Structure 1
Amino acid sequence: MNKTLKITALGLVTILGVSGTGFTAFAADGGSTTSKGDVTFEKNLEPSTPQDPDTNNPVEPTDPEVTPPTSGPLSIDYISTLHFGTQKISGNDEVYYAQMDKLKDTKTGETVEKPNYVQVTDNRGSNAGWKLTVVQDGQFKNGESELKGATLQFKNPTMKSSKKSDANTPTASEMTLNPDGKTSVDAITAKANQGMGTWFDTFGMDVEAAAKSISLSVPGDTAKTEGKYSTSLTWTLTDTPA
């Protein structure tokens, strides 16, 4: 009985001795730590200037009747002025087409013809969507003379952007305007997560398609006098796409 106990105690001493002196643990070299990064955003109030829809180069309109842009991070940057040229007075039904827009590329100095277009920028960062509508403020008039029955139409709308994809592209609509001065027509609708950045709605993919994309139809039995007939269009951009 005593002999057994002595052997057991001796064995314990031997094990403890090896553990305490022969296998001391050391920490490994290296390790890990954490660093941080940050970015601060502020409201973008810088005005967006007109650009070439195909190259995104800044441009200067050559037309002296430039539509003033709106301000803020959600803005209308540019709208082409529509010119239907000088036409012979006719007693027949006639359709006249808007001339191309002429723009000066500020990088190259070259003046180029482009389809008439509307440029909109959304720099809000909310991805909430937006809507652009238009109202024809009245019929084409020359003093007291009015082109009764004349109709202004926009066809072949084409959305362009440097960041265009099927998912984020707004919907552009063909439009026939009512000259009553109050009927609003949807031009572009950007749903949530669409229309971020700068977008162009060109009426015609290129100058060939644009040649007959914006028309003014005038009935032959409408009285006409010599001189310039004109009207105005009011474009409204809202942050409510529905």
Structure 2
Amino acid sequence: MKKILVLLSLVCVWPLTGHAQDVDGKAETEFQANNGPVAPVDPDEGNEVVPVYPPTNGPLSLSYAADLEFGSHKFNGKESSFLAENYTVTQVATNKAKQYPPFVQINDLRGSGAGWTLAVKQNSPLAKENGVEIANSQFKISALSAESPHGMTQQPSTLYSKNVSNNGETVPIISAKEGEGMGTWTIFLGDMGSQNPELSVPLASVKETGRYQTSLTWILQDVL
């Protein structure tokens, strides 16, 4: 008798009857206000540039304020107006020089979006080292635009065109409302041409030839 051996291959699938276990974890970080100085940067390229004056400290700070140079002019004894020259900045890493209209650069790193105001004050009359003054001269300064070198979009929306004179008055130039002006912003005070800051000298107020100068104080504060 022949015997037949039949081999059966059994595949058994056993369902998993246990319960999946979930564990929740955390990922967190903390941002704090920056209380140190912030180096000024090229308005277009965002690279660090050589400062004119040391940047101020604090989460709401000034890192750059261009001097206003009005050049050399012939003494004519008449009322005259002069435009500020364009300004040259120098990149720290490459020594590359670029020209811009005069500008002020501010930093709002408070993280609150509370807004701010930038103002300016003339501290003394235009005068020579020997004390001779130009009486009743004034500057016309306009905030033409505010641009972010880092791509921020909520730019300050209130821009002023103001006359600045030696009367002790603090004059607003630009304001950021709540939710505006966070990060680093370059405030351009001109357009490389006819809208640069303007110096007006009254009729017959120049008594002597020579170099005249004054100082301006830029004031950055919480929005009023």
- Measured against the shorter chain, the TM-score band is 0.7 to 0.9
Deviation, 1:77, is 0.8
Write the mapping of 1:48-67 to structure 2, written as runs, cut at 5 A: 48-61=38-51, 66-67=52-53
**For the structure 1 residues 164 and 44, does the alpha-carbon distance in structure 2 shift closer, same or farther, using more than 3 Å as the test?**
closer
* TM-score, length of structure 2 as denominator length: 0.84
CA distance in 2, matches of 1:186, 1:28: 70
Deviation, 1:31, is 4.7
Write the mapping of 1:99-114 to structure 2, written as runs, cut at 5 A: 99-114=85-100
CA distance in 2, matches of 1:134, 1:164: 24
1:163 paired with 2:151, answer yes
Answer whether contact 1:168 1:193 (CA < 8 A) is retained. no
**For the structure 1 residues 223 and 168, does the alpha-carbon distance in structure 2 shift closer, same or farther, using more than 3 Å as the test?**
closer
Answer whether contact 1:67 1:81 (CA < 8 A) is retained. no
Per-residue CA distance 1:192-242 (angstroms, 9 max, x = gap): 11111101101234x3x4x54111111232133122111111111112x12
**For the structure 1 residues 212 and 168, does the alpha-carbon distance in structure 2 shift closer, same or farther, using more than 3 Å as the test?**
closer
Deviation, 1:74, is 0.9
Deviation, 1:30, is 4.1
CA distance in 1, matches of 2:146, 2:159: 7
1:38 paired with 2:28, answer yes
2:141 maps to amino acid: F
**For the structure 1 residues 107 and 144, does the alpha-carbon distance in structure 2 shift closer, same or farther, using more than 3 Å as the test?**
closer
Answer whether contact 2:141 2:173 (CA < 8 A) is retained. no
- Which residue is 2:202 aligned to? 219
- Which residue is 2:113 aligned to? 127
Deviation, 1:26, is 6.1
CA distance in 1, matches of 2:155, 2:102: 23
User: Which 5+ residue runs of structure 2 have no aligned equivalent?
Assistant: 1-14
- Which residue is 1:8 aligned to? none
Answer whether contact 1:116 1:202 (CA < 8 A) is retained. yes
Answer whether contact 2:125 2:133 (CA < 8 A) is retained. yes
Per-residue CA distance 1:151-181 (angstroms, 9 max, x = gap): 211135210103342x44342321211211x
CA distance in 2, matches of 1:109, 1:67: 18
CA distance in 2, matches of 1:71, 1:174: 28
- Which residue is 2:67 aligned to? 81
1:223 maps to amino acid: V
CA distance in 2, matches of 1:153, 1:34: 61
2:49 maps to amino acid: V
CA distance in 2, matches of 1:237, 1:200: 13
CA distance in 2, matches of 1:113, 1:176: 25
Answer whether contact 1:148 1:222 (CA < 8 A) is retained. yes
1:229 paired with 2:215, answer no
Structure that is richer in helix per residue: 1
Corresponding pairs, count: 208
Partner secondary structure for residue 177 of structure 1: strand
- Which residue is 1:151 aligned to? 138
CA distance in 2, matches of 1:156, 1:186: 10
- Which residue is 1:192 aligned to? 178
User: Alpha carbon RMSD of aligned pairs, Å?
Assistant: 2.1
Which among 161, 165, 188 is matched to residue 202 of structure 1? Answer: 188
- Of all paired residues, the percent bearing the same amino acid is 32
